[in-house]
Chains A and B, each alone.
Chain A
Amino acid sequence: MFYVSIFFQYASQYMKTRLTYRSDLVVELFSDILFQAVNLIFILVVFGHTTLLSGWSREEIIFIYGFFLVPYAIFSSFFNIWDFNERYIVKGEMDRVLTRPIHSLFQIIIERMELESMFGVITGVAIMFYAGSQLGLTVSWYDPFMFILMVAGGALIYAGIFIILASISFWSDSRTDIMPMMYNIGNYGRYPVDIYNQVIRYVLTWILPFAFVGVYPAAFFLGRDEWYFYAFLTPVMGLVFITIAVFAWNEGVKRYRGAGN
Chain B
Amino acid sequence: MNVIDVHGLRKEFKSYSSRKGLGGAFRDLLTRNYTVLRAVDDIDLQVKQGEMVAYIGENGAGKSTTIKMLTGILTPTAGEVQVNGMDPHRQREAFVRTIGVVFGQRSQLWWDIAVQESFRLLKKVYRLSDEHYDTHMKQVIETLEIEPLLDKPVRKLSLGQRMRCELAAALIHNPPLLFLDEPTIGLDVLVKMKIREFLKEINRKYKTTILLTTHDLSDIEALCDRVVLLDEGRIIYDGGLEALQNNWVEGKQVEFEFQKPVAKEELEQITAEFPVKWRAAEKLRGWKATVEGDDDTVSKVMSVVMSHHSISDVKLNQVSTEEIIRNIYEEGMHRHG
Contacts and interface: CB of A to CB of B under 8 A. Distances in A.
Contacts of A257: 13, 74
Given A10-B121, A173-B16, A101 B126 contact: yes
B121 A258 contact: no
B84 interface: no
Interface of A: 2, 5-6, 9-10, 13, 16-17, 20, 92-96, 98-103, 173, 254-258, 260-261
A98 B106 contact: no
A9 B124 contact: yes
A254 B92 CA distance: 11
Given A6-B124, A13-B110, A254-B75, 6 more contacts: A13-B113, A17-B112, A95-B103, A95-B106, A96-B103, A101-B125
A16 B117 contact: yes
Interface in B126-162: 126-127
Contacts of B93: 101-103
B294 to A, nearest CB: 46
Contacts of B68: 95, 258
B113 A17 contact: yes
B115 to A, nearest CB: 13
28 contacts: A9-B120, A13-B110, A16-B113, A17-B113, A20-B112, A93-B106, A95-B68, A95-B73, A95-B106, A96-B106, A96-B107, A98-B71, A99-B71, A99-B96, A99-B101, A100-B125, A101-B94, A101-B97, A101-B126, A102-B93, A103-B93, A173-B16, A255-B75, A256-B73, A256-B74, A258-B64, A260-B64, A261-B13
A101 B103 contact: no
B253 to A, nearest CB: 35
B233 interface: no
A180 to B, nearest CB: 21
A2 B125 CA distance: 9
Interface residues of B, number: 34
B125 A258 contact: no
A261 B15 CA distance: 9
A90 to B, nearest CB: 13
B73 A102 contact: no
Given A17-B113, A100-B96, A261-B13, A9 B121 contact: yes
Contacts of A94: 73
A13 B121 contact: yes
A227 B73 CA distance: 47
Contacts of A102: 93, 125
A100 B97 CA distance: 7
A258 B65 contact: yes
Interface string B58-101: 00000011001001111100000000000001001110110101
Given A10-B121, A102-B125, A261 B94 contact: no
B39 interface: yes
The secondary structure that dominates the B interface is mixed
B108 interface: yes
Contact of B96 (A6, A13, A101, A260): A101
Contacts of B97: 101
Contacts of B64: 258, 260
Q: Which 4 A-B pairs have the closest CB atoms?
A: A98-B73, A99-B101, A101-B97, A9-B124
Interface of B: 13, 15-16, 39, 64-65, 68, 71-75, 89, 92-94, 96-97, 99, 101, 103, 106-108, 110, 112-113, 117, 120-121, 124-127
Contacts of A173: 16
Contacts of A95: 68, 73, 103, 106
Contacts of A17: 112-113
B26 to A, nearest CB: 16
B96 A92 contact: no
- With most chain B CB atoms within 10 A of its CB, the pick from A20, A99, A102, A255 is A99
A93 B106 CA distance: 8
A176 B15 CA distance: 18
Contacts of B125: 6, 100-102
Nearest to A261: B13
A99 B107 CA distance: 12
B331 to A, nearest CB: 28
Contacts of B96: 98-101
Contacts of B89: 254
A260 B106 CA distance: 12
A165 to B, nearest CB: 21
A103 to B, nearest CB: 7
Contact of B117 (A6, A13, A255): A13
Contacts of B72: 98-99
A136 to B, nearest CB: 49
Contact of B106 (A92, A101, A103, A256): A92
B121 to A, nearest CB: 6
A9 B117 CA distance: 10
Contacts of A99: 71-73, 96, 99, 101, 108
A20 B101 CA distance: 30
A139 B107 CA distance: 52
A13 B120 CA distance: 10
